[in-house]
Amino acid sequence: MDRKMCVLIVEDDLSSRMLIGQTLQRAGFEIVEAVDGAAALVLLQSRRFDFVILDLLLPRVKGVDIIRAIFADETLAKMPLLVFSAHEDLDGLQLRPQDRFLLKPASPRVISEIAQAFLSDLSASC
């Protein structure tokens, strides 16, 4: 049974969110968007995602706090993250082997390649 992989994009910048979303939709992913950290936390508790693309500098709840919440939640802890940010400060956090960090700006091709690489380890569904 084929299904679309579901991705949560957490990005407050509209142009970045649109670029990522359009790139992944063309690659066959289902996209859900959050424009701030608080909305992302609500979505993470109410839906299942195959992976998350996360900016660090977000309104309301910072990206590093979202990462901490994901790491601390047993149901979310195995979900891969693509941290996509113009800033490298993870506030002392260490990403896990399944996670990736990508500095902005990045080409749609690179984003798509990372998303495709996540596919082999995914088991959640929307």
Q: Is residue 83 part of a domain?
A: yes
Q: Is residue 68 part of a domain?
A: yes
Give residue 19's domain range: 6-121
Strands 30-34, 100-103: pairing is: unpaired
Q: Is residue 102 part of a domain?
A: yes
CB atoms closer than 10 angstroms to residue 106? 15
User: What would the pLDDT profile of 41-79 be if each residue is shown by its tens digit?
Assistant: 999 999 999 999 999 999 999 999 999 999 999 999 889
For the cut 80, the answer to whether the pLDDT of residue 88 exceeds it is no
103 DSSP β-pair partners: 85
For the cut 70, the answer to whether the pLDDT of residue 122 exceeds it is no
Q: Average per-residue pLDDT in the chain?
A: 87
Overall domain count for the chain: 1
Q: Is residue 1 part of a domain?
A: no
Which CATH number covers residue 77? 3.40.50.2300
